[in-house]
A and B are shown apart, each in its own frame.
Chain A
Amino acid sequence: MVIDLFDEQRKKNLYQEKSEEKKTIGIVSFDLGDEIIGIELKYILEIINLTNITKLYKVPDYLIGITNLRGQIKPVIDLKKFLNIHSVDHRNDSQEKKGLLLNYEEFDAIVVVDSINKVEWIPEEDLREPPDTTPDNLKEFTNFLVYTKSKPIVVISGEKILNSDMWNQYKEE
């Protein structure tokens, strides 16, 4: 379902770009505890239903493990823990996890989120600097803030997540 929506929005965007020449930015918004967070569409390759995750050892708890995505192995990150968002987990483990496959340059990883809402198309001029009130744990990763009809969304950057210092110890061989 979500993936279909995703594609349709992409087409819509293409059409929009041609007809109005007004630049819009696609943002996938999702729940993370009590927060609504967004990530720019350009960092997202795919939406994934996670089934089998193989755990790793002696890694921080935000690194859930690795999974097999059509023969390629991808790391799986618990985004809530990565961003230090505390909340009561309503889901149980048997429930299927939803993940977004993020990509930036040669790095990719699947981030697990609570539930994916929708893709929002925001005109570029509506992007706002994140306010000073942005929580510290999010500040580091936040790109900008957008106001939709319902609520402001903190948009975090895929680049900042995948290029975070937290990975330095694992990146180099």
Chain B
Amino acid sequence: MSLKEFLKQIGTIDKERILNKEEYKSEISDMLNRMSLSLTLYPNLCGFLKYLALIVKSSDSFKMDLFMESYSDLIRIYGKQKDFNVNSDKEFEMLNQKLALFSEDDSISNDKKIIYSSDDSQEIESFDYSELELTLQDFIDEMEAMLGHLENDILNLESADAVKINTIFRCLHTIKGAVGMVKLVNAQRLAHIAENLFDKIRANKIKPNQNFEDIFLECVDRFKIILSKIKRRENPVTNVDDLVDKLQYLEMSGGKLPVEPVNGDKSVSKNDKQEQALPDKDGESMSLRVDIGKLDNVMNQMGELIIEKIKLEQQYLCSKNFILELRNVKQEFNKKKINESLRKDMVLGFIERFEKFHNNFSNVIDEISRSTMNMQDSVMKIRLVPLSTIFNRFPRLMKDVSKKVRKEIDFQIMGAETEIDKGICEMLFNPLLHILRNSVDHGIEDDKEERIKNGKKPAGDVIIKAYYKSDKVVIDITDDGAGMDEEKLIAKAIEKKIVSADEAKMMDKKSKLMMIFQPGFSTAKRVTDLSGRGVGMDVVRSTIEKLKGTVDIITEKGKGSTISLSLPLTLAIVRILIFSLKEDILAVPVYNVKETVQIPASDIHEANGKPVMNLRGEMIPLIYLCDVLGVNGFAIGENISIIIVEVMDKQYGLIVSAFVENREVVIKNIGNLLKKAPFISGAAILGDGEIIPILDTVAIMNYAKQQGKKSIKVSKPSPHKTASVKNKKKILVVEDSKIYSNQIAEILAGAGFETDIAENGEIGLKKIKSKQFDLISVDIIMPVMDGYEFVKNLRKNKNYELTPVIGLTSMKEKVDKIKGFEAGMDEYLTKPIDIDEYLRVVKKMLEIS
């Protein structure tokens, strides 16, 4: 507003009406407020107008006099000085001070002195949610967005340019409005003061320094606490006095922090600070801010679809007319008036026209299918949000982390515009934060000198980078620290008894690195504030796997490490493999399917009573899906269709009737009542409305495992089933290595078994004749007579047809397990021997619990 307009409007105020009419009063008050907002060039005048706006509403006669007097002053100053400028603005300063005295209790402010009611008794004691339920979600969304921006922008405030300062100012203003809307007086006061301070920074009256940044971040934290309280439906009234004091002190001192608390409320504020903004428990919030362009896209495609629908209707009319014509012709034909050649011509004509019609029709169908595909794509994209929504929160947090561990960090974000499903995005925050923390805490070298010595810059680089890779989103977290030492990791894992030393020897580098994702693993020697939060890397991996993603580690000693997460764009649409099982149609998610194979029935082998197949040298256990699901009458044909499923690092083959197709579907749950339907994880609805159940691949594997155990009991009963447990069971250990044979004998003796040792197969065969053993444990590779030969010969002996046999192999040796099972072994165990596992198997086979 220009001054001229202002003067004009000021002149229109009717003094008489103000005294008599209440409505006019508030009208004038609004007008004055509006004016004050548009005359920001003259801060004192602004303040003056704000005072007037407040006083004019009062019914107090004294205040009305005050208003009239001030109004006259205003007119006087303007009348005196035709060319009003910044200098004449100063004249209002005195007037403001006068007015301030009179209106102190009215909680208003001017730019010089902030007089806000700090009386806590005026604050609403309990926050009434029922009144605000409708606006609350908007409030939460807005606050989250604003605090997100703010947190990011306030970082590096010292070097912020005018645009950034303006953005911050606007954010603060919006926050002020938002908390005001939900009637949070304290929070509004804080926002107001912060806004005012920023206004000064904006006008270059104050130069911000590091202290400003710290205090403003504290303010952001306080707002977050309030927000998290609101989300949990708690009383959100929070004390802000300490921050208000700090801000005011900061303003007055021009950037210095108070040495000690300005007033005694410090103890209260400390309590407040301890309650951190808790992470939301429900995870995904139920509303979504959508980029308007995406909605426009959907609308456009909708428009196209409607046009195509009209085209389709036209085609329908065409075909209808066509039929009418054909009927007419039929009647003509019946009249027999038309000769043969004419008939032929007519038929040919019709064929030609029908072909044309068919072409048009198929064009329309093509267009529709293309449009619907696009439509599906656009609708799906609505759910996608840029990763910046969570990435933006990291710079601030990383700053805190680097301060806490006293390491200088150069944190960079790349590809924050990469979009991913909102649900996935929200779930990613904690895992990513944990990885980032680890990168700073464990990745970057503790000693700056060490970095310099290795030719690195003093500040450690930590980079989070997101990008698309085919249909996946990849997020890499890279640090240029010391890198991971897989030997140290594995030593730790052994120490924590996650793996045995012998197992560790067999592992490759990658498996060793992957140890960091094992539960109970933490390499931090000291429990720091950062890593001691109870979220371990195992939780990171399980979260990522829950989101159907994968984790990978790339590391080079001395150069740094990268933890790479690969995630699907969306969870809503999943590719499934549809197959038939007798008459039923079912599906498995393709991300669980390793491959599909068809093998002749003769390639299915029996091992330990369980079907297995040999897939390129690997033995894959097979599961008859019909047995699991209780489908009767499933018959195996010549060729068997098998789906090789891979879940939780394990593989199994699912025997089904036939593969049907592979397609993308929207997965739905099957209602709250049946969240946990047996063996079914969800269902898809196909175009014709038919439901296809989607198998729970993990549940099937677990079930098959248990069944397998049962079937051993049933199918291979021990001949000495009735023997009492008190009778010592006799076990023969056939083993060439003395170390192992003694170890096994010891284990077994400890568990109350009688043992005998044979050095090789031949000696073993002699021994079984002299004594009846209840169980035989046999090494596969032995001199003189190996395990296979031994068992084959053993089974020929009538007394040993059903005696349980455990085959032992060393992990290194790639032995043919199928051959072993065919020879007659019941169970395989690997050396080094896991004592518990060995005893468990022995007891199970002897049916001792």
Contact = CB atoms under 8 A, between A and B. Distances in A.
A95 interface: no
Nearest to B692: A54
A34 interface: no
Interface in A77-107: 106-107
Interface in B675-702: 675-680, 683, 685, 689-693
Nearest to A65: B691
Contacts of B680: 56-57
Interface of B: 584, 628-631, 668-680, 683, 685, 689-693
Given A73-B683, A73-B691, A58 B668 contact: no
B446 to A, nearest CB: 43
A102 to B, nearest CB: 10
Given A162-B673, A171-B672, A59 B690 contact: no
A173 interface: yes
A57 B630 contact: yes
A71 interface: yes
A121 B671 CA distance: 31
Given A52-B690, A54-B690, A66 B673 contact: no
A108 B673 contact: yes
Contact of A58 (B671, B673, B674, B679): B679
B293 to A, nearest CB: 27
A172 interface: yes
B629 A73 contact: no
B683 A109 contact: no
A74 B679 contact: no
A55 interface: yes
Interface in A42-76: 52, 54-59, 63, 66-68, 71-75
Interface in A125-173: 162, 167, 169-173
B685 A73 contact: yes
A59 B671 contact: no
B676 A73 contact: no
Given A68-B685, A73-B683, A54 B693 contact: yes
A107 B676 CA distance: 14
Contact of B678 (A58, A66, A106): A58
A43 B673 CA distance: 15
B59 to A, nearest CB: 45
Contacts of A172: 675-676
A72 B668 contact: yes
B672 A107 contact: yes
A66 B694 CA distance: 13
Given A72-B668, A75-B670, A75-B673, 4 more contacts: A57-B680, A58-B629, A107-B671, A167-B673
A107 B693 contact: no
Contacts of A171: 672-676
Given A73-B668, A171-B675, A54 B630 contact: no
A173 B678 contact: no
Nearest to A57: B629
9 shortest interchain CB distances as A-B pairs: A57-B629, A54-B691, A58-B678, A73-B670, A173-B675, A106-B672, A107-B673, A75-B674, A170-B674
B690 A66 contact: no
Contacts of B678: 56-59
A3 B689 CA distance: 23
Contacts of B685: 68, 71, 73
A86 B691 CA distance: 30
Nearest to B688: A52
Nearest to A105: B672
A169 B673 CA distance: 10
Given A52-B690, A56-B693, A169 B672 contact: no
A170 B677 contact: yes
Nearest to A171: B675
Given A56-B680, A73-B669, A73-B685, A66 B675 contact: no
B669 A68 contact: no
A100 to B, nearest CB: 15
Contacts of B669: 73
29 contacts: A52-B689, A52-B691, A54-B690, A54-B693, A55-B584, A56-B693, A57-B630, A57-B631, A57-B680, A59-B678, A66-B670, A66-B671, A66-B674, A67-B691, A68-B691, A73-B668, A73-B670, A73-B685, A106-B672, A107-B672, A107-B673, A162-B673, A167-B673, A170-B673, A170-B674, A170-B676, A171-B672, A171-B673, A171-B675
Q: Interface centre among A75, A162, A169, by most B CB within 10 Å?
A: A75
A63 to B, nearest CB: 8
A23 B344 CA distance: 78
Contacts of B673: 75, 107-109, 162, 167, 170-171
B689 A68 contact: yes
B671 A73 contact: yes
Nearest to B669: A73
Contacts of A108: 671-673
Nearest to B689: A68
A66 to B, nearest CB: 5
Contacts of A73: 668-671, 683, 685, 691
A1 B630 CA distance: 40
Given A57-B629, A73-B683, A170 B690 contact: no
Contacts of A173: 675-676
Contacts of B677: 56, 59, 170
A108 B668 CA distance: 15
Nearest to B666: A71
A166 B678 CA distance: 14
Contacts of A74: 671
Contacts of A55: 584
A173 B696 CA distance: 12
Nearest to B683: A73
Nearest to A102: B673
B569 to A, nearest CB: 22
Nearest to A110: B671
A103 to B, nearest CB: 10
A159 to B, nearest CB: 13
A66 B671 CA distance: 9
Nearest to A53: B691
Q: Interface centre among B672, B690, B692, by most A CB within 10 Å?
A: B672
Contacts of A162: 673
A122 B123 CA distance: 51
Nearest to A58: B678
A171 B669 CA distance: 12
